[in-house]
Structure 1
Amino acid sequence: MRFPASRWLPWLFWLLAAAAALLRPLAEPDEGRYGEVAREMLAGGDFLLPRLNDVVYPDKPPGAHWLMAAGMAVLGPGALAVRLPALLAFAALLALVARQARAGPPGFAAAAVLVTASSPLLWFLGQLATLDLVLTACESAAILCAWRWLHGAPSWTAAAAGVALGYGFLVKGPVAWALPLLILAAAALWERRGRALGRLLHPALWAPMLAVGLPWYVLAWRADPALLGFWVFRETLDRVSSATHARTQPLWYFPALALAATFPWWLPAGAARLRGRKPPADQRHPDARLHLVWAWLPVVVFSLPASKQPGYLAPAIPGFALWLAGWWHERAPLRRRHLVGALLLLGYAALLLLVRDPERARSDDPFARALRAAGAERWNGVQLMGWSYGLGFRLQRDDLVAAGPIPPAWRYAEQQGRVRAPRALAGRYALSFEVLSRDADGDGAPDPGFVLLHQLEDEPQHFHDFPEYCRARGLGLHLWLRTGDAALFSNRPP
């Protein structure tokens, strides 16, 4: 039985992403944050309100956190378990693209899957504990199922689309509904299927969508009524209309990112379009207009708000892959396609070797390993001048003290007056000293404690000033470990 390269080459990209998910340490801040939220869910048994260091963290719905917690229940609280939902979503996305591409001409499906698998944006997101690829899989499934329903498929396809949209709503909120429905409506109008638009409002679609997506929001709002204003204003309106989330980028950001995320597969299409040529009719997919809208409409939509980040573009990449596959048809040399894919695969493998180092991955794994190796993971702990989300995850703790500045994930709790963190430097030093000098057993000696000091590249003076502050008050600190931007001190020799 033969297995041509066009079948197995895309899955080598997935296997390489799986290797990266297994080998790389958790990177700050996103992976540590999402992983710790999921770990605390599983450890505390509270799956309603996400928490981070035992503080309510409502910035994102819990859909992806539930999946990460399920992974930890099977694999334990490690990096692979946290990344498993994104990795499985990557595989599901390849299968969805392959299923949709079957209706194309010979060679179309193989090209579409290869473009999807080799996209640098999807490949990186497929090995990271973030929400974007899980959302992309939900939105892609919804678009493809609903499109079939608009063209007369059985009603179960509408129900499947509704379930996918509902779970997407639990992963990242309203965008999970808005973008797929906008793509479907625009593509239907382009095909002059105005009557089909009414089906997008049909209960067969909306009933499962609301049944899956809405109950958690109602229950969470009843448990914490202040969440409604937080979701409506900070997490929705502010993201669209302001730079509150500090991700402002120029208008050309997403068009340029789209070219980078599909390079070099758009080169034949670009060259042909410059010559005024189109793919011959027998090389086109019957849903070519859907694919074109799916590719470019998100680029336009996400270019309008002030807040931008790369993961927003992920739902457009399957559309680009299906659109560009028309230029890599059966008549194009297969060797050329396989050579391009193989070169990209080798490039990603080389990149993986370069970023395995914990410091280059912006991870605080070295500090967690040092503490665990010394049996110090339960010592009194404080983080000063910054916050590592991954440290709590690695030590399996939710009681580390934040001596300031306040972790960004605590903004909601701070607005509600539920947490306090010193803003003045003197207060931050004093709180850190208080933790390190605790004497719970009353024997006159401080209990074992450590402080992780951050931001040393920007404010190196704290490396000397804080130990001197403690020394002047009768507490000696010992340097345990230092990386480029952080240092671990303890109140007893390590």
Structure 2
Amino acid sequence: MVSRVRLYFLFLAALIALYYLIPINGRLLWQPDETRYAEISREMLSNGHWAVPHFLDLRYFEKPVLGYWINTIGQWLMGESNLAVRAGAIISTLLSSLLLAKFAESLWRCRKTAYLTAVIHLTLLIVYGIGTYAVLDPILTLWFVTAMVCFWQAYQACERGKKICYYALLGICCGLGVMTKGFIALAVPVISILPWLLTAQRRVEIILYSFLAMFCCSLTVLPWAVTIAQQEPDFWHYFFWIEHVQRFAQSNAQHDAPFWYYFPWFIAGSLPWLGLLPGALYYGWRYRTTKAGYLLAWTIMPLLFFSLANGKLLTYILPCFAPLALLMARYLRVSLTKGNSAIKLAAWINILFASLVIIAAIAVSPWGVMDKPFWPTTEIGKFVLALLAFAVWLLCAYLALKCPRFGWQSLACCPLGIALAFGSITPASIILTKAPQFFLQSTAQALRPSRFILSNDVGIAAGIAWQLKRSDVMMLNNRGELAYGLSYPDARHKFISLADFPAWLAQHRASGTISLFLKVENKALPPSVPPADRVVQQGRVILIQYFPQ
């Protein structure tokens, strides 16, 4: 028994190392999200503006400050590396999995279920994809998970002292969520608890104790809220009306998408455990008046809430997969005692998925049916590596089918080939536009002595600032998400329109080299850009330089 426990923990440690540590630093930072969060935290560490986030030396009010603090700690401890940029998301994901495992053990008094919860959560495709990507949602998910666990423990506690402690922790976690990504941290726990609360006992007690949680939440946020209001009086107006009301409710919200947008991603994100999804949801519904019903409401209600909002991003539904991992683990544990039907179904789904992807990869290869293949003939090695990565997926699914004794271990390893090879199979055409580091690494030497650097893409501008460790990059003809920061009188010099650029160039050219780093359509240079002394182009990305005259 002891040896089996050790083997389980060795297997889990290997999964963490292979998925969340070894390949991470080799993956370039993608724009706009990763380059943005990397640069904001770098500037915070560099300029000491800890209360007010700045981006390219501009006020940046899209998000509160806690997520940047956590990312800044990662860079402070680990240096300015790709792994350091993603450390906040990775550590938050690992802590969420650990907390879910402990919660599973307290719910069902079963260590095997707790262990399966951690394995399933860490290897869910959407959890791994977002959990190793430098965004704030994994950090926010950690606060959600902690808050929901605290509420359940508070409800179950018999002693008043424990109830007060757990409700206070619930409020603190909600406050930390507000400081990470805003008021959505209050809405999601409430809508997740509400359906279960309608069937639960002692509702008056819950309502009374909720005031304690709200008080602790307010105390958590208050010091920073007052500080930023004193330094930037317009922050809360912009953050509430633009970043919350407009993004989620108005018809012109950012990232507008139809109601059903999340449902295909919910299904795809459940791989390689998709075969457990129907049984897990049915289990939650069948026992909806018990702890399983609490987990089901926690899964479904945020999904419906974000589906009703006009503004949608894939990362928003990440919190739904925490309780889903608990339901899947419990359903799998019960299924294993009755046979291996759930494992077999999951294995067949993964065999089908991997086979279809391999066929699709061949179809978009140089030997496929497309006029412009996904991988050109110069990138045959990447195509072969992609086939091998999905062959690993197919092999692991086949082993899960043929060796039921190691079925769930094999399923956990299905995405491993993609995790290890992702940075090496992405075509250069995508890397050039999504990962500015790729082009910047070969042009950094020429860019460094530039007196002025301008870009027409915010993500690329952030990549330049991160790579060169300078935040004075200016915007050319495109304000993007920096429009609000650029509207301040002391920041208007950081934007140049394309029509004004020739005159601005003539005025500033004598002061030093001027470099434009542009993303263009149809690989064509904008006709209004004056003739340059040096032009370097790779795909849709162009470096244009004007030397002093």
Q: Does the 8 Å contact 2:284/2:292 carry over to 1?
A: no
Map of 1:478 onto structure 2: 534
Q: Deviations over 1:365-415 (max 9, x none)?
A: 1343234445x5242132243332111011111112222212x23222244
Map of 2:91 onto structure 1: 88
- CA separation in 2, counterparts of 1:361 and 1:284? 47
Deviation at 1:13, TM superposition (A): 4.0
Q: Does the 8 Å contact 1:21/1:128 carry over to 2?
A: no
- CA separation in 1, counterparts of 2:473 and 2:72? 21
Instruction: Give the residue type in structure 2 aligned to 1:14.
Output: I
Map of 1:473 onto structure 2: none
- Counterpart of 1:370 (choices 438, 442, 455) is 442
Map of 1:160 onto structure 2: 169
- CA separation in 2, counterparts of 1:209 and 1:368? 43
Structure 2 alignment gaps of length 5 or more: 341-403
Higher helix share: 2
Deviation at 1:264, TM superposition (A): 4.1
Deviation at 1:80, TM superposition (A): 1.8
- CA separation in 1, counterparts of 2:285 and 2:524? 63
- CA separation in 1, counterparts of 2:131 and 2:304? 24
**Alignment pair present for 1:99 and 2:102:** yes
Deviation at 1:214, TM superposition (A): 2.7
- Counterpart of 1:412 (choices 462, 480, 484) is 484
SS where residue 168 of structure 2 aligns? helix
Instruction: Give the residue type in structure 2 aligned to 1:84.
Output: A
SS where residue 470 of structure 2 aligns? coil
Q: Deviations over 1:175-208 (max 9, x none)?
A: 11221133223323233442342245232x2333
Deviation at 1:12, TM superposition (A): 3.8
Could you state the TM-score of these two structures normalised by the residue count of structure 1?
0.86
Map of 1:55 onto structure 2: 58
* C-alpha distance 272-19 of structure 1, shift in aligned 2 (>3 A): closer
Instruction: Give the residue type in structure 1 aligned to 2:408.
Output: R
**Alignment pair present for 1:487 and 2:542:** yes
Q: Deviations over 1:266-298 (max 9, x none)?
A: 42452698xxx85999x9996211111111111
Map of 2:383 onto structure 1: none
> What RMSD over aligned residues (CA atoms) do the two structures have, in Å?
2.9
**Alignment pair present for 1:116 and 2:121:** yes
Structure-to-structure mapping, 1:387-466, within 5 angstroms: 387=458, 388=460, 389-406=462-479, 408-420=480-492, 425-432=498-505, 434-435=507-508, 437-439=509-511, 447-455=512-520, 457-458=521-522, 460-462=524-526, 466=529
- CA separation in 2, counterparts of 1:199 and 1:241? 30
SS where residue 29 of structure 2 aligns? coil
Instruction: Give the residue type in structure 2 aligned to 1:451.
Output: L
Map of 1:293 onto structure 2: 297
- CA separation in 1, counterparts of 2:131 and 2:437? 21
Q: Which structure has the higher relative contact order (CA within 8 Å, separation 6+)?
A: 1
- CA separation in 1, counterparts of 2:13 and 2:318? 19
Q: Does the 8 Å contact 2:476/2:498 carry over to 1?
A: no
For this pair of structures, how many residues does the alignment match?
Answer: 468
* C-alpha distance 106-91 of structure 1, shift in aligned 2 (>3 A): closer
Map of 2:420 onto structure 1: 349
Question: Which of 353-362 and 138-147 deviates more?
Answer: 353-362
Structure-to-structure mapping, 1:19-34, within 5 angstroms: 19-34=22-37
Question: Which of 411-420 and 166-175 deviates more?
Answer: 411-420
* C-alpha distance 272-225 of structure 1, shift in aligned 2 (>3 A): closer
- CA separation in 1, counterparts of 2:225 and 2:307? 28
- CA separation in 1, counterparts of 2:331 and 2:208? 32
- Counterpart of 2:321 (choices 314, 317, 337) is 317
Structure-to-structure mapping, 1:40-79, within 5 angstroms: 40-79=43-82
* C-alpha distance 127-268 of structure 1, shift in aligned 2 (>3 A): closer
Q: Does the 8 Å contact 1:138/1:168 carry over to 2?
A: yes
Aligned-pair identity in percent equals 21
* C-alpha distance 161-488 of structure 1, shift in aligned 2 (>3 A): same
Map of 1:263 onto structure 2: 271
SS where residue 43 of structure 1 aligns? helix
Map of 1:232 onto structure 2: 240
Could you state the TM-score of these two structures normalised by the residue count of structure 2?
0.78
Instruction: Give the residue type in structure 2 aligned to 1:307.
Output: G
- CA separation in 1, counterparts of 2:10 and 2:427? 25
